[in-house]
């Protein structure tokens, strides 16, 4: 279904984002977005970023694998605790772990976060967000489909 299902977002000033981009020790896919820059520079669509922020990929687990995203987030927070803990002192605010999940076609949807994740995120002043996306199931090719 794709990746980038769990990301870390931190809003900062242009100066804070540029300084962080130069000095960060975070590994993996990280985007540095500057307010006013074009979102799609090689496209005829002229949409600009409305705020300066960093967006870091935290988990490669799919949208239908929240437990995998949570495991990845716990590992990421532990591995990068020193750097993530310093984001607020470097001028960042609105720091969030955003878990993107597939919206299920059910009467009620319940998703829970374990205490370990909540404790780690809270210690680093990182909020938690759960974003639900309407994702159509892929139709298996006749004879080649996977059983679910």
- Whether residue 38 is contained in a domain is answered as yes
pTM of the model: 0.81
Identify the CA nearest to 54 among candidates 99, 103, 100, 90. Answer: 90
- Whether residue 143 is contained in a domain is answered as no
Q: Which residue blocks in 24-126 are alpha helix, DSSP H? A: 66-79, 81-85, 115-123
- Whether residue 55 is contained in a domain is answered as yes
Range of the domain at 115: 6-133
- Whether residue 142 is contained in a domain is answered as no
pLDDT digits over 53-107, tens only? 999 999 989 999 999 999 999 999 999 999 999 999 999 999 999 999 988 888 8
pLDDT digits over 20-52, tens only? 999 998 877 899 999 988 888 888 888 888 999
- Whether residue 93 is contained in a domain is answered as yes
Q: Which strand ranges, in their side-by-side order, compose the sheet holding 127-133?
A: 30-33, 52-59, 6-12, 93-102, 127-133
- Whether residue 148 is contained in a domain is answered as no
Distance CA 52, CA 32 (A): 8
Q: How many CB atoms sit inside 10 A of residue 116's CB? A: 13
**Total number of domains constituting the chain:** 1
């Amino acid at each position: 279904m794709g990746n980038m299902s769990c990301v870390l977002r931190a809003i900062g000033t242009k100066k804070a984002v540029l300084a962080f981009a130069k000095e960060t020790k975070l590994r993996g896919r990280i985007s540095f977005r500057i307010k006013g820059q074009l979102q799609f520079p090689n496209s005829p669509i002229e949409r600009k970023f409305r705020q300066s922020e960093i967006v870091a990929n935290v988990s490669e687990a799919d949208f239908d694998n929240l437990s995998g995203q949570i495991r990845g987030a716990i590992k990421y927070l532990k591995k990068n605790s020193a750097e993530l803990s310093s984001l607020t002192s470097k001028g960042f605010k609105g720091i969030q772990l955003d878990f993107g999940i597939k919206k299920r076609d059910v009467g009620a949807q319940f998703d829970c976060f374990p205490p370990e994740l909540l404790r780690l995120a809270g210690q680093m002043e990182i909020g938690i967000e759960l974003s639900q996306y309407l994702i159509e199931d892929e139709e298996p090719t006749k004879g080649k489909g996977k059983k679910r």
